[in-house]
């Protein structure tokens, strides 16, 4: 498998893991480095705290669906950067939806176990619907 395909697969597996919501200890290890930095409209976290932040953010909803498209990869040796568009749908307990169109970017490092994100950032381009309680404009 070439680098482009490996990183695209990693992106899609990460999104599937977010939506599966199986937050057993270590659930992010197949996708990120131990010292990962994650930046979202809700804040930033590093390492294990980043996984907990994702769990809390997604735990506000009964279901989510993250769809990635247009994954662009720039790789040089053991390092790479990637960016992609995303449609993220979040379903509240009352079945109303909060949707976000955004751009994800990341820096990756090839490890003994394959490519892993060492930095991931999410930028909301547009939103529709009601954000979760206590969260203002996420753009």
pLDDT at position 16 is 97
Sequence-distant (6+) residues with CB within 8 A of 100 are 86, 87, 88, 89, 90, 124, 126, 127, 128, 138
Domains of the chain by start residue, with CATH: 3-129 (3.10.450.50)
- For 21, left (φ over 0), alpha (ψ -120 to 50), or beta? left
Whether the predicted model's global pTM rises above the 0.95 cut: no
Strand positions, DSSP E, the chain: 32-40, 43-46, 63-76, 79-91, 97-111, 114-129
Q: What is the pLDDT of residues 51-80, one digit of tens each?
A: 899 999 999 999 999 999 999 999 999 999
State residue 132's pLDDT score.
82
């Amino acid at each position: 498998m070439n680098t482009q395909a490996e990183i695209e697969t990693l992106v899609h597996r990460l999104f599937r893991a977010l939506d599966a919501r199986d937050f057993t200890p270590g659930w992010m290890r197949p996708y990120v480095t131990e010292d990962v930095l994650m930046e979202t409209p809700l804040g930033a976290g590093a390492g294990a705290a980043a996984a907990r932040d994702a769990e809390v953010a997604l735990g506000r909803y009964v279901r989510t669906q993250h769809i990635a498209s247009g994954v662009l990869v720039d790789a040089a040796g053991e390092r790479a950067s990637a960016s992609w568009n995303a449609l993220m749908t979040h379903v509240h307990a009352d079945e109303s939806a909060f949707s976000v169109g955004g751009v994800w970017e990341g820096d990756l490092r090839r490890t003994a176990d394959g490519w892993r994100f060492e930095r991931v950032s999410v930028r909301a381009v547009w939103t529709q619907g009601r954000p979760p309680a206590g969260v203002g404009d996420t753009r």
